């Protein structure tokens, strides 16, 4: 099924001869064309798992915002020549509160630079993926001539994605020559593929052509609305020593930088562990109190797991269930409720955050009440 919606609008003109203007067809893409371009890049990231990604001509950084959720990415960089536009939506780039409670496994830094895609800056060397989404058509002839030298020759990432309008699609739009007043040109498929193939051959890349934005049925062989070239470096990726040997060139001006919480950071790991341990302890305590009430009312037999009520919650694998059941069980003495650390460590969300029980004890000792021998967490059995 085509991913376009078509709206038909009648433009009528009343006259003595009853003339009616021809029907104009307005094409609306669903999802919107910009979102299809971003989804194309997103799927490419899912497939190839790059660690360092840069978007040249990033505009308001919406593509950066789309990609930040990928756990494989450790560095996201955006570059744009329009200082007022760059990062205008950057509030969406900051970590949310939930990302401190459930942090990423690996570090993530996001940096936005004010600068031109045809300027050399050594901070963009050694990247796995560089995207140029709807960029090249905005370049003046001189800049377009320099673009391959900088991006393919100097930066030389493992992969490059370039998207640009397909001028063969334009007649399907009502009254359009160039799609944007800032466009310096728009290529047809042959022009783009010739340029891209020449650049790929010159700088030792392969290139494959595709696109997004399918034409309507019966529109003829006009191709995609947006044409895309995916370039892959032939041969080994540049080594760190080769990159380090290049002369530093810092041309771009940093306008925004943020680092995300991750489990690689000791304080973040500690915060996440304390939060998860507290959550598990309170969940077990509530279940224990309810089970005591049921048993006291003599309305239920003792259940598995030392009389703890089983509540709907996370689904465990059989192996995880076995590990939990084999671990020491929670218990109460007087008005105190105790959860052995070995029991807590058996829960997947806890052992993901620490290597062993000793590490867990060291990380939570100054925040949570432990027994004298440090073998269990101790809390009040009943709420105040």
Between CA 381 and CA 8 the distance in angstroms is 68
| Higher pLDDT pick, 308 / 119 | 119
Is pLDDT of 187 > 60?
Answer: yes
pLDDT tens, position by position, 53-85: 999 999 999 999 999 999 999 999 999 999 888
Residue 186 burial (CB count, 10 A): 20
Decide: 252 and 118 in contact? Cβ < 8 Å. no
pLDDT of residue 227: 98
Winning range, highest mean pLDDT, from 12-26, 71-85, 215-229, 298-312:
71-85
pLDDT tens, position by position, 275-301: 999 999 999 999 999 888 887 775 445
Region 226-253: what's the mean pLDDT? Answer: 78
pLDDT of residue 126: 95
| Higher pLDDT pick, 91 / 260 | 260
Write down the mean pLDDT value for the chain. 87
Task: For residue 87, name the pLDDT band (cuts at 50, 70, 90).
Answer: low
Which helix (DSSP H) or strand (DSSP E) does residue 200 occupy? helix 189-202
pLDDT of residue 291: 87
Q: State the burial class of residue 173 (Cβ atoms within 10 Å of its Cβ: 0-12, 13-18, 19+).
A: middle
Instruction: Give Cβ neighbours of residue 193 (< 8 Å, ≥ 6 apart).
Output: 209, 229
Rounded to 5°, angle at Cα 226 from 64 and 147: 65
Q: State the burial class of residue 213 (Cβ atoms within 10 Å of its Cβ: 0-12, 13-18, 19+).
A: buried
Between CA 332 and CA 335 the distance in angstroms is 7
Is pLDDT of 1 > 50?
Answer: no
Instruction: Give Cβ neighbours of residue 1 (< 8 Å, ≥ 6 apart).
Output: none
pLDDT tens, position by position, 127-136: 999 999 999 9
Q: Is 215 helix (H, G, I), strand (E, B) or coil?
A: coil
Task: For residue 13, name the pLDDT band (cuts at 50, 70, 90).
Answer: very low
Decide: 255 and 78 in contact? Cβ < 8 Å. no
Pairing of strands 331-333, 336-340: antiparallel
Query: Which residues is 232 bridged to in the sheet?
Result: 159, 206
Task: For residue 237, name the pLDDT band (cuts at 50, 70, 90).
Answer: low
Which helix (DSSP H) or strand (DSSP E) does residue 311 occupy? none
Task: For residue 316, name the pLDDT band (cuts at 50, 70, 90).
Answer: confident
Longest CA span, the chain? 100
Region 224-252: what's the mean pLDDT? Answer: 78
Between CA 167 and CA 189 the distance in angstroms is 8
Token digits of residue 178: 């160039």
């Amino acid at each position: 099924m085509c991913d376009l919606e078509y709206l038909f609008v009648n433009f009528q003109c009343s006259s003595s001869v009853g003339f009616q203007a021809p029907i104009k067809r307005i094409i609306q893409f669903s999802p919107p064309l910009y979102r299809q371009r971003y989804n194309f890049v997103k799927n490419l990231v899912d497939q190839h798992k790059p660690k360092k990604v840069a978007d040249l001509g990033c505009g308001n950084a919406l593509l950066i915002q789309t990609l930040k959720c990928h756990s494989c990415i450790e560095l996201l960089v955006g570059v744009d020549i329009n200082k007022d536009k760059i990062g205008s939506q950057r509030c969406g780039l900051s970590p949310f509160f939930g990302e401190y409670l459930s942090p990423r496994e690996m570090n993530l830094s996001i940096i936005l630079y004010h600068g031109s895609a045809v300027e050399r800056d050594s901070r963009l060397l050694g990247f796995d993926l560089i995207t140029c989404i709807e960029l090249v058509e905005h370049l003046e002839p001189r800049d377009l001539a320099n673009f391959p030298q900088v991006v393919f020759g100097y930066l030389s990432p493992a992969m490059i994605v370039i998207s640009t309008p397909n001028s063969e699609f334009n007649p399907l739009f009502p009254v359009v020559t160039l799609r944007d007043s800032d466009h310096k040109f728009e290529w047809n498929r042959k022009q783009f593929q010739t340029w891209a193939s020449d650049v790929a051959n010159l700088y030792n890349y392969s290139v494959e052509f595709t696109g997004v934005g399918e034409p309507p049925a019966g529109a003829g062989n006009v191709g995609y609305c947006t044409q895309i070239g995916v370039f892959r470096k032939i041969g080994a990726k540049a080594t760190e020593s080769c990159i380090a040997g290049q002369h530093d060139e810092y041309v771009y001006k940093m306008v925004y930088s943020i680092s995300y919480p991750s489990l690689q950071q000791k304080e973040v790991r500690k915060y996440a562990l304390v939060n998860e341990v507290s959550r598990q302890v309170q969940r077990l305590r509530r279940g224990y109190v309810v089970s005591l009430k049921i048993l006291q009312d003599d309305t239920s037999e003792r259940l598995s797991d030392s009389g703890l009520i089983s509540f709907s919650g996370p689904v465990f694998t059989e192996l995880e269930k076995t590990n939990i059941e084999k671990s020491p069980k929670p218990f109460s003495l007087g008005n105190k409720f105790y959860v052995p650390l070995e029991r807590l460590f058996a829960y997947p969300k806890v052992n993901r955050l620490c290597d062993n029980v000793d590490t867990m004890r060291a990380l939570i000792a100054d925040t949570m009440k432990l027994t004298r021998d440090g073998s269990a967490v101790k809390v009040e059995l009943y709420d105040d």
